[in-house]
Every structure is written in C-alpha cells, then in structure tokens.
Amino acid sequence: MAAPSHRRSLRSRRALVVSAAAVAAAVGAGVVVMNANAGTVDLYHQTLAAKDGWASSGTGTTGGTKADAAHTFTVSTRAQLVKALGSATDTTPRIIKIKGTIDANTDDAGKKLTCASYASGTGYSLSAYLKAYDPSSYGTSKLPSGTQEKARAAAQAKQAKNIVFKVPANTSVVGVPGTDAGISGGMLQIQNVDNVVVRNLTFAATEDCFPQWDPTDGDDGNWNSNYDSVTLRGATHVWADHNTFTDAPHLDSANPKYYGREYQIHDGALDITKSSDLVTVSRNQFTNHDKTMLIGSSDSEPSGKLRVSIHHNIWKGIVQRAPLARVGQVHIYDNLYDVTTLNGYATQYSINSRAKAQVVAENNYWKVPAGGKVAKLLSGDGTGAVKGSGNLVNGTVTDVVAAYNAAASKKLKTTVNWTPTLTAGLETSAKNLPTTLATTTGASVLK
C-alpha cells in the first residue's frame, strides 16, 4: 500500500425563524433570525458572538456588517459575483448575498465552460501529458518539466482565472435562504485579508481540470489538484458557518487511474494555511470528500498563528483531514464524526496532529460501524499533541487518544500548552449531538 501524502497539494447556534411579515417590517428584503443569546438579528449583518471560538478574539469577526447600500449586493451569476467582490485590496465593508447556485465554470455572458474550453489554445492534451511523463520512461525522481507541463500549467491558469474568487477584507458572503444558495465549481480565496464571514452556502464540484503528476509524492507518486472550495491563506478573523461542502455530483469513485494512481481532481474543502489565524468553523457539513481540512500548509510554518476553533460540525463520508493540524492551537469540540464508508469514501482517520500542533478535542461524538477500529480515529507524526476529554464512540465515553497510542509507533502527546477560553456554546456532553446537529448544521438551515 502506498504511503499517504501529507503534502499541501499543488496546485447557530440554533435559530428561531420569525414570520415573513416581521421580516418585511424589520429589514425589507433582508433576513431576520432570532438567536437565543443575541435576540433578533439580520442574518446578513449578523456578527460572530463573543467568545465563540478563536475568530472572536481581539477585534472579533464582523464581516461586512458596516456596509452601506452601495456596497450591498445580491448576485446570482458568476459575473455578478466578480463585480460585487471588486478588488481584493479594497477594504470597504461589503455584503454579498448569493441567490441560487452560481456556476463558476461560465463566462461573463453565462455560457458554460468545460475543461476543453480551458485547454483550447494551450497545446495541452491529457494523452500527450501521460505519454511525456510515463514513469517507465521519464522516471520517478523529479517533477514534470518541458512542453506538456508548461501547457498543463497554462490551461490550469486559464481555469483559475475563471473560477477563483478573491474575497476582500470586511466582507460577508451569505446565501439567500430558500434559494439553494451556493457556488458550484469555484473557490473562494481569502488571502492576506482580515474580517470575513462566509455563511449559508453549498460548495460543490470544485474540480481541477488539470491535475499535476508528482512522482515524488508518497511511495508511488500522486496526482495533485489545485483548488479548495474555500481557502484561507494568511487570513485572519474568519468565520465559516452553516455551509455544506461536497464533491457531488462527481465523486472520487468516478476518477480514473493513470500510472496506477487515482487521477484526483479535488483538493481541500476548507483549508486554513500560510499562517492564517483566528478562525472559527461552526455548524458546517462536510461530506463526500477526501482531503477535507488542512490547517498549516507545511511542517515548517512559524509558531504563534493557526489558531482555529472547530465546533458543531458534521463530518460524514470523509477520508482524512478532519482536520489535519500543524503548528497551531486548535480546539475541536461538539463535532459529529460518522466514519461509516459513504459512496466509496472510506475513513483513514479523522483528526491528525503533527508538526507540534496543540489540539484540544473534547465532547465529540464518533459513530463507528461494526468492526471499525477506535485506534484509527486519530493520527500523528509523533510530535503533535491531542488532549482529549468527554469524547464518545457510539455513545460510550472513550479515550480516543489512549486507543490510538496503544496501537501506534508514533504516539500523540497528551498534554498541550494552552487552555481554551473562547468556548461559548461548549456543551457538557456529546450524547445528543447525532440528533441535534442533524437539523442545525449545513446550508439551508438559516431561514
């Protein structure tokens, strides 16, 4: 069996809905929810509550709540979204309401674009690429270079120009309830900016038409793709809440193999890298995906950043990286992990702590099928720590760290160098999570 790769691939709180009449009276076209702690609030202007994870630290996370009318947009096409986002360096507060599903693989006129559209004029073809870098002739000691690799990179750049949406600081991107709001085939890039809110959206089918072959990745090489559904790179104060992430409709089981390795067109779902910091990930659903959440893009990232809180999420049909944490201080609590194989996505592990990461995992619930091994729920490189408490496996309190360490040669450390204090919403027990999270997580819950 090939060794798994740990490289960075190239490439509500529960709400009570008020009546429609009250919505109209309160905010016109806005959406109002009633929060048990905060009272009645406009969904588009809602800010992260105090002490709700790392993103509430310091100045907190407010997104575009101060946006004026000129910077409040409702969009339903790719071109409208690009216009609403504006320049990635413009810090003017803005609210972007996404109505319906935006297909990122369309041109400015709304015409559908395909992989062939992006490859056109570059000289790239998969058959020529496979012939050029066949390990039997090209070897396995170096990355592809030359004509076909340049053509692949050019085609990939054309796709990136179309499907990567750069989010500026002080922005809220929120799905309009009742419209199946989301982005298909695209990536929200939150890079080197502060104060962003992403809520109530379904991210699906984020696919790289032009994965790169890396014969040096792992024991037998790997195909690496280049787009996450949402990617944080050097970002601070980000709140990702009530979203759904999925590979659907193209699942990994449909991927072909070349050179004996899966031709992987999906990268991360929600990756937090390049010294991003002060992030809260709450009440999302992650499903039908392999490399789901990467915290820290390399083992050499500097310390002091990558502080992330992950709570009240559902992870179902996830192979790995739920999350994979490096370097930072990560609080993982009140999550539901269903590690039953789903649509061919078979769990390798849920949480991986490596590169001296300091993880606190408490009051999480794992649903493990008959024959499943508790020792496989965690992973590590021998330098990372996981302090676990109150975690349940099929309803029974279980020391998942001890179970892993009993079977592992590279053991997890069991003490950490910090104590979580930003813990609003932390529940006293995980026992009810399978029931409560079923109706309070993911897109389309906020109304």
Asked whether the beta carbons of 362 and 336 are under 8 A apart, the reply is no
The residue annotated as part of the active site, out of 152, 199, 261, 321, is 321
- 11 classed as catalytic: no
CA-nearest of 101, 262, 239, 275 to 167 is 239
Report CA-CA distances (Å) from 258 to 251, 267, 375.
Answer: 17, 17, 32
Radius of gyration of the chain (CA): 21
Calpha distance 19→26 (Å, rounded) = 11
At 345, the amino acid letter reads Y
What 3-state class would DSSP assign to 343? coil
**Of the candidates 162, 149, 218, the residue with the CA atom closest to the CA atom of residue 2:** 218
Question: What is the C-alpha separation between 156 and 331, in angstroms, rounded?
Answer: 35
- What sign does the CA torsion over 127, 129, 130, 136 have? positive
80, 211, 267 from 225: Cα distances, Å: 27, 5, 5
Here the tokens at position 103 are 């297909």
Residues recognised as catalytic:
321
